Amino acid sequence: MITDEVYEKLKREINPTHDIKLFAGRSNPKLAQEVAEALGTTLGPMIVKDFADGEIYVQVKDSVRGDDIFIIQPLCKPVNQNLMELLIIIDAFKRASAKSITAVIPYYGYARQDRKTSGREAITAKLVADLLTTAGCNRVLAMDLHTGQIQGFFNILVDHIFATSILVNYIRTLNLDTDNLVAVSPDTGGVQRTRHFSKDLGCSLAIIDKRRDKHNEAIANCVIGDVKGKNCVMFDDIIDTAGSIAGAANLLKQEGAKDIYVCAVHPVFSGPAIQRLIDAPIKEVIVTNTIPLDTENLPSKIKQLSVAGLLGQAISRIHDDESISSLFGFEKKMTV
């Protein structure tokens, strides 16, 4: 009789690449479920729970010896807890003799602390990279990192993918006249990503000169580019308190812009964000589900699109040793 154990061994000998082994922490269970469905698989069994004092307990329920593991865990709120949970999950797989561990981090928390802007500051994005590596992670799959240079903070492999095509495709469905459309970067740091966005949409580009004099407070100073009488699509990686986007939208209106749309990948939505988006002169805000939102109570002007299919494709390609960059026409985009 062929026992389950013998069957698994035979299967591995016939197909040495194994099946995709997908697991998830607790930071975005809905996205993890959708990714599993996109891959035609289910999430692997694992216990993740809290002790009374807040410490986290993890146990992988099945043998993963010799397996290639993918763990989905965006580092969204509560960011420190979700980060610690990911580290403990990685440690559990390492000690269970997994062959490789890929952390799928659709939203990389602490990404904005990627350099020292004044003396005696931490570079926390690098610290997070070190923590993941020390825990036993072999590869990271990240989406729309705040800056591409964060890839270089790792001494392990990083695959960096982009949700731009999902957002661009949605804007295309609105059938806006591209001759009368401007893609707007809400700050100078986002110019490169907005330039790709404007190229994909086939429209012109404008830039907001943004200042931050105080912690977590953004001031939109002036618009560089022509927005008068034009529809505008602002594109950002993160909406956190929505100060940048709301300030920029008000400024665009003052400068005579027509309808204003906002596309952003990561809806961090802290504190006053949703109210600011409601109050701002914005027609529609389109974000993705790298971070979970309470969709039942979202105002109708905020739309959330799924990145599950894209993550699924990337995971499948990593697993099968296929190109990731060709999935995004990345080589073409970088020739600017």
Residue whose entry in the numeric block shows the structure tokens 């009789």: 1
Q: Is 38:315 a contact under the CB 8 Å cutoff?
A: no
**Which has the closest alpha carbon to 280: 263, 262, 256?**
262
Phi-psi region of 122 (alpha: psi -120 to 50; beta: other; left: phi over 0): beta
239 is an interface residue for ligand R5P by CB under 6 A: yes
Bridge-based pairing state of the strands 260-267 and 231-239? parallel
By CB under 6 A, residue 109 contacts ligand R5P: no
Question: Catalytic pick from 11, 210, 283, 301?
Answer: 210
- Interface with ligand R5P, residue 218, by CB under 6 A: yes
Residue 203 half-sphere exposure toward CB, CA atoms < 13 A: 29
- 94 in catalytic set: no
Q: How far is the CB of 242 from ligand R5P (least distance, A)?
A: 5
240 contributes a contact to ligand R5P by CB under 6 A: yes
249 is an interface residue for ligand R5P by CB under 6 A: no
Helix orientation angle between 191-201 and 164-173, rounded to the nearest 10 degrees: 40
With contacts defined by CB under 6 A, how many residues of the chain interact with ligand R5P?
17
Interface with ligand R5P, residue 114, by CB under 6 A: no
Q: Which stretch binds ligand R5P (CB under 6 A): 69-77, 116-124, 149-157, 243-251?
A: 243-251
Q: Is 241 in the site for ligand R5P (CB under 6 A)?
A: yes
Q: What is the dihedral of CA 133, 70, 267, 211, to 10 degrees?
A: 30
Stretch that binds ligand R5P, among 47-55, 137-145, 181-189, 227-235 (CB under 6 A): 181-189
| Binding window for ligand R5P (CB under 6 A); candidates: 80-88, 91-99, 152-160, 240-248 | 240-248
Nearer to ligand R5P, 135 or 263 (CB): 263
Among 111, 207, 238, 260, binds ligand R5P (CB under 6 A): 238
Residues 6+ apart with CB under 8 A from 102: 68, 69, 70, 71, 137, 138, 139, 140, 141, 315, 318
Residue 86 as a binder of ligand R5P (CB under 6 A): the answer is no
- Which residues of this protein are in contact with ligand R5P, per CB under 6 A? 112, 186-187, 189-190, 216, 218, 236-245
Q: Which residues are catalytic?
A: 210
